[in-house]
Chains A and B, each alone.
Chain A
Amino acid sequence: MEWLSNLVGPDWARAVATFVGINVGFVVVLMIVAYTVLAERRVLGFIQGRLGPNRVGPGGMFQPFADLLKFIFKEEITPAASTRFVYFLAPIIAITAALMPIIVYPFGPEVSLPFIGKFHLVIARFDIALLYVLGITSVGVYGIALAGWSSNSKYSLMGGLRASAQMISYELSLGLSLVGVVLISGTLDLYSVVEQQGGWWGLRWNIWDFSRVPQIIGFVTYLISAIAETNRVPFDLPEAETELVAGFHTEYSALKFALFFMAEYVNMFTVSMLATTLFLGGWQGPFVTALPWLGPVYFLLKVTFFLFLYIWLRGTLPRFRFDQLMNFGWKFLLPVAILNVIITASVMFARSWFGW
């Protein structure tokens, strides 16, 4: 973007470029999330032996727009005894914390466009990208806790407390399973992590890279923690319909409920992108160096695989009881994640000490 730098100065040029990138990313993520909702309903239908929604448009393709119209026109009911400011703030925190991490994920290698020049396909690239994602995930707990409390209803409060307790418990094993990847990559920058997974015809992913330490245990613990973190089946007791009416979003209607709903699916999308980037090689794949625009295609395929996995699990598994959930998180998953860190560090140390 040389012409823009010469026009307004390098700081403002970078700000404009990042702003445009954020907008594009925002729109793309929301469209993908809308179609994930549709895909979930269709795939769940097929798993359960029925068709999902297929009336609105060919194969149900315009169903998300119909849902959006419905949400906009629904009546907004605010419970009378709720705390007004916090009641309005909670879905805002939830959706903001869900959308903020998308700026650090690399979608593709360095590409060049006619007017813009060469650029890496990542919206913002900085040193502590992984810590940033973990920080925003920690702040996302507030959306649920405040929603549960401010609705002033016992179902919401119980659902909110349970959901936030579950989230903060599984954040630990989430963070620890990522430490293995950081150890073998030596950097917190997600673009560098993806770049290092480029050998073997683009298939030298962190999950089966035997020249460094393969992160299989880390991958499995990360996946389970991510499913618990996003409150999906089998860890969705806080929002189970048969248990707590609708959990922390019982008292929310129309557009605020749509924000929570979207926040859950954006969270799903975000953790799928993180799994892809760290464990499955991001945009790496065969022939990416020759055709750089193949990178985003591979990325999207891998993320779609994870989303399909989420939906598949939802259609297949029963849900955990809350004490089983907490037991599993603290007494099994956290020790296994710590074990992964110890094993990775020991193997790396042995390799450097003995020169294997």
Chain B
Amino acid sequence: MSTLLFILFGALAIGCAVAMVAHRNPLYSAISLIGVFVSLACLYMMLQAPFIAAVQVIVYAGAIMVLVVFVIMLLNVEEEVRRPARLHYLIPVGVILAAILTAEAAFILKLPGASSRADVVGPQASDVGLTASIGAGLFTEYLLPFEVTSVLILMALVGAITLARRTATPRLAASPDFDIEPPAPSSESGSVIQPGDTEATGQAYAQLQIERGEAAAPDAGKEGES
């Protein structure tokens, strides 16, 4: 049963990781990364570290990746353009290196000897991963690293806010005789354009452009069009 679950979650993690690397659309890569984190949390659970599994989901998949997804959405990161592969000589190099890696892993896992891991039976029941154990250790033996880490996170937070802050624009003080009524338009200047007269505004602006020489006058035959 545990072997079955391990194969399932391991395959899910590897599949999502490959999908993350292979996708051209950055949002799909982010979603695949969330899949990787959730599979890893399930694997942690199987290794009897339930607290780490829960924290992985809460912090990584639930907070950090939300930030990444927001950034991708807000910056509207474009899909990558598919370029033709050019460095063809890298393919045999990759195959040889993968073969060397597989040979090393097989040597470590399978051959008998002091460094062989093949005789590890399976996960034994242990208390290390429980929340109570982690809490007890965190507040007694590892208290100083805990406090220092929280100060570090606080520094990062303050730094980010300082960098992202907009400098305040100076506010103009209102003069004491500030009156609310807009100045009444004098009736001498007949060409005052009231806001809202869009057609009149457009025609007046066209007239202004013609007077300034920025645009040519329309043909005489088109005068009838509004």
Contact = CB atoms under 8 A, between A and B. Distances in A.
B128 interface: no
Given A12-B1, A138-B57, A145-B69, 11 more contacts: A11-B1, A85-B28, A127-B50, A131-B51, A132-B54, A134-B58, A135-B62, A137-B62, A139-B34, A149-B73, A161-B74
A146 B69 contact: yes
Interface in B55-87: 55, 57-58, 61-63, 66, 69-70, 73-74
A132 B25 CA distance: 30
A161 B58 contact: no
8 contacts: A11-B1, A86-B31, A134-B54, A135-B62, A136-B57, A139-B34, A142-B34, A145-B66
Nearest to A135: B57
Contacts, number: 69
Nearest to B55: A131
Nearest to B27: A86
A126 B62 contact: no
B130 A131 contact: no
Among B38, B51, B73, B74, the one with the most A-chain Cβ atoms within 10 Å of its Cβ is B73
B209 interface: no
Among B51, B130, B131, the one with the most A-chain Cβ atoms within 10 Å of its Cβ is B131
Pick the 9 closest A-B CB pairs, nearest first: A138-B62, A131-B54, A135-B57, A11-B1, A135-B58, A128-B50, A149-B73, A128-B54, A135-B54
Nearest to B53: A128
Among A134, A135, A145, the one with the most B-chain Cβ atoms within 10 Å of its Cβ is A135
A132 to B, nearest CB: 6
Contacts of A137: 62
A128 B62 contact: no
A141 interface: yes
A253 interface: no
Contacts of B63: 138, 168
A164 interface: yes
A12 B31 CA distance: 32
Interface string B4-37: 0000000000000000000001011001001000
Contact of A168 (B31, B57, B66, B131): B66
Nearest to A86: B27
Contacts of A141: 62, 66
A304 interface: no
Given A85-B28, A131-B51, A135-B62, A145 B1 contact: no
B135 to A, nearest CB: 10
Contacts of B69: 142, 145-146
A245 B131 CA distance: 45
A196 interface: no
A289 interface: no
Contact of A142 (B1, B28, B66): B66
Interface string B41-55: 100000000110111
Contacts of A145: 66, 69-70, 73
A153 interface: no
A188 B130 CA distance: 11
B54 A83 contact: no
A144 to B, nearest CB: 11
Given A12-B1, A135-B57, A128 B51 contact: yes
A89 interface: yes
A138 to B, nearest CB: 3
Contacts of A157: 73
Nearest to B129: A127
Interface string B159-187: 00000000000000000000000000000
Given A131-B58, A135-B54, A145-B73, A164 B1 contact: no
Contacts of B41: 135
Contacts of A131: 51, 54-55, 58, 131
B117 to A, nearest CB: 24
A161 B73 CA distance: 9
A137 B62 CA distance: 8
Contacts of B50: 126-128
A155 B43 CA distance: 39
B58 to A, nearest CB: 5
